[in-house]
């Protein structure tokens, strides 16, 4: 039987904020883009991803598939880096107005580009590439990744954080509950599972993968996101009805497999190309020694 609103309120799990000290100054609305977000996780996922990004002040970072740009703001604000904020569907104007309003007009460059096409950046231009809740939309092939990774410096980090299933799943093995919406054809088919992404990154021949694992609060990122949306909607019946398909899937996933969760992958671009600067050399050496 479907969970009642009271059961959802009492049993859906919240993210433990003490696990995200980076966000101590952030209100819950700010973590979730004031409700105007495009995927679960919000800045919780961004904060987790930046822990392995190895950024230095002044670095140039590509935020690929940045959506409304909250992750770009987070990167610029906390790491004193220059961010190139790229998205296909969200206009550069919307993001430039937002960045200017938050005091980041000069350190975040918003561009509207299609990551499946050749990007207008130099080879080995970026110190790091950050891709949150977006790679499944365009980057699930070796050739696209190889094209993207041309723009990353040798020794630079590629960090991905995305929704996924916890284990292998295909259209044939997908439990019926995940077919309640057009989810499988729209997105779920591209979510894959951490080992699938790990194998793809290795197959590029350009990356050493440091981690590619389900987050231990990966399923909670979904549940907390539902709680946040419901709170914003004042727990109106219409919200709960509209989100019912997702709520049912998350409840199912507590006791069955596969379940919806999140993974983070951190990979380092191999040192096959020429090193550009002394800083690159230092970065590369610290990788070998650590
Ligand atoms: C689910 S949203 C996530 C946005 C943001 N990273 C976040 O976490 O809120 C996926 C984003 O990927 C972008 N995207 C999809 N295909 C793309 C492509 N080919 N090139 C660039 N961005 C793309 C979409 O425009 C969308 O903003």
pLDDT digits (tens, 9 = 90+) for 92-148: 999 999 999 999 999 999 999 999 999 999 999 999 999 999 999 999 999 999 999
Is the Cβ atom of 116 under 6 angstroms away from ligand 1? yes
Ligand 1, atom nearest to 38 Cα: 9
- Does 75 contact ligand 1 (Cβ within 6 A)? no
- The set of residues, in sequence order, having a beta carbon less than 8 Å from that of 35 and lying 6+ positions away, is 29, 228, 229, 232
Pocket of ligand 1 contains residue 194 by CB under 6 Å: no
Question: What are the chain's domains?
Answer: 5-289 (3.40.50.150)
Are the beta carbons of 111 and 86 closer than 8 angstroms? yes
Measured distance CA(66)–CA(122) in Å, rounded: 20
Tokens representing 201? 């990154």
Q: Residue 228 corresponds to which tokens in the numbers above?
A: 């946040």
Query: Which of 89, 140, 221, 262 has most ligand 1 atoms within 8 Å of its beta carbon, as the pocket-test mutant?
Result: 89
Contact 32/20 with Cβ under 8 angstroms? no
Average pLDDT over residues 258-273: 93
Cα 239 to ligand 1 centroid, rounded to whole Å: 24
**How far does residue 26's CA lie from ligand 1's centre (Å)?**
23
Q: What angle do CA 67, 69, 73 make, to 5 degrees?
A: 155
Distance CA 174, CA 180 (A): 11
Task: Give helix 42-50 / helix 70-79 axis angle, nearest 10°.
Answer: 40
DSSP string spanning 93-140? HHHHHHHHHTT-TTTEEEEE--TTS--SS-TT-EEEEEEES-HHHH--
Q: What's the CA gap between 189 and 197, in Å, rounded?
A: 13
- pLDDT, tens digit, for every residue of 138-187? 999 999 999 999 999 999 999 999 999 999 999 889 898 988 765 556 68
pLDDT digits (tens, 9 = 90+) for 205-259: 999 999 999 999 999 999 999 999 999 999 999 999 999 999 999 999 999 999 9
79 lines ligand 1 (CB under 6 A): no
Share of the chain above pLDDT 90, in %: 85
pLDDT of res. 182: 57
Q: Is the peptide bond before 210 cis (omega within 30 degrees of 0)?
A: no
Task: Give pLDDT, residue 73.
Answer: 98
- Has residue 84 got a pLDDT over 70? yes
pTM score, whole prediction: 0.93
Q: For residue 52, how far is its CA from the centre of ligand 1 (angstroms)?
A: 21
């Amino acid at each position: 039987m479907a969970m009642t609103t009271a059961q959802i309120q009492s049993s859906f799990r919240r993210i433990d904020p003490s696990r995200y000290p980076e966000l101590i100054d952030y209100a819950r609305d700010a973590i979730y883009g004031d409700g105007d977000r495009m995927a679960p996780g919000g800045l919780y996922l961004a904060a987790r991803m930046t822990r392995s990004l190895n950024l230095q002040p002044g670095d140039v970072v590509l935020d690929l598939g940045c959506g409304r740009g909250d992750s770009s703001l987070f990167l610029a604000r906390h790491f004193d880096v220059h961010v190139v904020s790229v998205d296909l569907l969200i206009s550069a104007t919307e993001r430039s107005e937002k960045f200017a309003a938050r005091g980041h007009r000069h350190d975040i460059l918003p561009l509207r580009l299609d990551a499946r096409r050749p990007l207008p950046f130099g080879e080995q231009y970026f110190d790091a590439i950050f891709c949150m809740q977006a790679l499944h939309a365009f980057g699930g092939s070796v050739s696209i990744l190889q094209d993207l990774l041309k723009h990353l410096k040798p020794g630079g980090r590629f960090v991905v954080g995305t929704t996924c299933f916890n284990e292998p799943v295909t259209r044939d093995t997908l439990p019926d509950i995940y077919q309640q919406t057009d989810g499988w054809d729209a997105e779920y088919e591209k979510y894959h599972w951490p080992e699938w992404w790990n194998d793809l990154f290795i197959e590029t021949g350009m990356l050493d993968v440091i981690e590619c694992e389900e987050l231990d609060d990966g399923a909670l990122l979904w549940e907390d996101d539902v709680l946040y949306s419901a709170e914003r909607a004042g727990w109106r019946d219409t919200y709960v009805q509209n989100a019912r398909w997702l709520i049912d899937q998350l409840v199912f996933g507590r006791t069955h497999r596969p379940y919806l969760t999140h993974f983070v992958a951190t990979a380092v671009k191999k040192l096959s190309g020429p090193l550009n600067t002394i800083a690159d050399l230092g970065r590369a050496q610290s990788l070998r020694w650590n």
